[in-house]
Amino acid sequence: MKPKVAFFSFTSCEGCQLALLECENELLDILGAIDVVKFREAMSETSDEYDIAFIEGSISTPHDEEKIKKIRDTAKVIVEFGACAATGGLNAMRNSMGTEEDHYEELREKVYGPVGVEHFRSTKARPVHAVVPVELTIPGCPVDRGHLLEVIEAVLVGRSPRQFDHPLCVECKLNDTVCVVEAYGQMCMGPVTRAGCDSICPNVGDACEGCRGLLPSGNFAAHQQMLEEHGNSKEEIRLRYLMFNAYPCEELEVPLP
């Protein structure tokens, strides 16, 4: 029997659901192998019976928290996918801009006005795995289609998907990509960032921004010092680390300049 799969969206832009829809050559094969029962970006029918839940978005409100716990009770497998779900993503930048006790009141007022303060409560923005246990993670902003398909394949075949426990530099080298630090002195997060996107940004001459999350094995002190040697200020380096990795910095206790 085909596994029933549901897609859920939390605090995010829903771009990762679109990334799946963009797997145009593979969509029919995917639909032949799974039974999609909930997918807001693509269909209006829904069902609350499912085996695998794909979760997009960070957990950032009390309501999010309730909802993800209910999903956990139903799903046999939870896949957190996309930077927001896997690392807290850009949303976690706000974690240092207020306190959880007052539900980031000042920040909410700035964003939503006085009415919003009444109606929206906020918690710290967290990855899904910080709230409920998850089985699989596909990071990235947005997720890499190749990695997404590899994980779907692994789940269907019934084996563990490939782990990317090495830095992005590996993929730059495999692609014969000119190092953007070596050649242009760019502020690249690649040496401390999890690979798996096929070095999509450096391949076109842009520095990695770290959207796939910091590697627990990363040599952060040496990386920050190297970026300083290439003319970046401490503040620039700090902001670059916090852009996609505010939550991982806290989780891994990364010292920031």
Partner 1 sequence: MELYKIDEKGLAEAMARVMEDYRVVAPVEKGPKHVFDDIEDWSDARPMAVGTVLPPKKYAFPQRETLLRFTLTGETPEAEAVMDDTPVVMAGVHPCDIAGLRCIDHTLAGRHFDEHYGARRMNAIVFGFDCMPDEHCFCTSVGTLKAESGYDLFFTPIQTGGFVIRIGTPRGRQLFEKYFQHAEGAGVYEESLEADFRQRKAEAVTAHIDAPVDDLPEVYQESMDSEVWDKWGAVCFSCGSCSLVCPTCYCFDVQDRVSLDGSEGRRDRIWDACTLPDFATVAGGHDFRPTAPKRLIHRHNRKFNYQQERYGEPHCTGCGRCGRSCLVHINMVTVANELIAEQKGEEA
Where along the sequence are the contacts to partner 1 (CB under 8 A)? 26, 29-30, 32-33, 150, 152-153, 156-157, 162-163, 165-167, 169-170, 173-179, 181-184, 190-192, 205, 215, 217-219, 222-223, 225-226
When the beta carbons of 21 and 222 are compared against partner 1, the nearer one is 222
For the bound state, the minimum distance from the C-beta of residue 157 to partner 1, rounded and expressed in Å, comes to 5
Could you give the CA distance from residue 210 to residue 242 in angstroms, rounded to a whole number? 10
Element (H, E) at 137: strand 136-138
CB of 243 to partner 1, least distance (A): 20
Residue 63's CB is within 10 A of a number of other CB atoms, namely 13
Of 97 and 174, nearer to partner 1 (C-beta) is 174
Minimal distance, residue 170 CB to partner 1, in Å: 5
Q: Whole-number minimum distance, CB 152 to partner 1, in Å?
A: 7
The sheet with strand 4-9 has its strands ordered as 35-38, 4-9, 52-56, 77-81, 136-138
Cα–Cα distance measured from residue 241 to residue 257, given in angstroms and rounded to the nearest whole number: 10
Q: Give the residue with the Cβ less far from partner 1, 108 or 194.
A: 194
Q: Encode burial over 123-154: b for 16+ CB neighbours within 10 A, e otherwise.
A: bbbbbbbbbbebebbbbbbbbbbebbbebbee
CA nearest neighbour of 177 among 149, 205, 151, 196: 205
Of 2 and 110, the one with the shorter C-beta distance to partner 1 is 2
Nearer to partner 1, 15 or 185 (CB): 185
Rounded Cα gap, residues 107 and 94, in angstroms: 8
Residue 126 or 145: the one with the smaller Cβ distance to partner 1 is: 145
Helix, strand, coil percent content, the chain, rounded in steps of 5: 45, 15, 40
* Minimum distance from residue 196 beta carbon to partner 1 (Å): 13
- Determine how β-strand 52-56 pairs with β-strand 136-138: unpaired
Give the shortest CB-121-to-partner 1 separation in angstroms: 40
Q: How many CB atoms lie within 10 A of CB 221?
A: 11
- Say how far apart CA 217 and CA 171 lie, in whole Å: 17
Cβ proximity to partner 1, 9 vs 193, nearer residue: 193
Question: Least distance (Å) from partner 1 to the CB of residue 222?
Answer: 4
d(CA 253, CA 160): 28
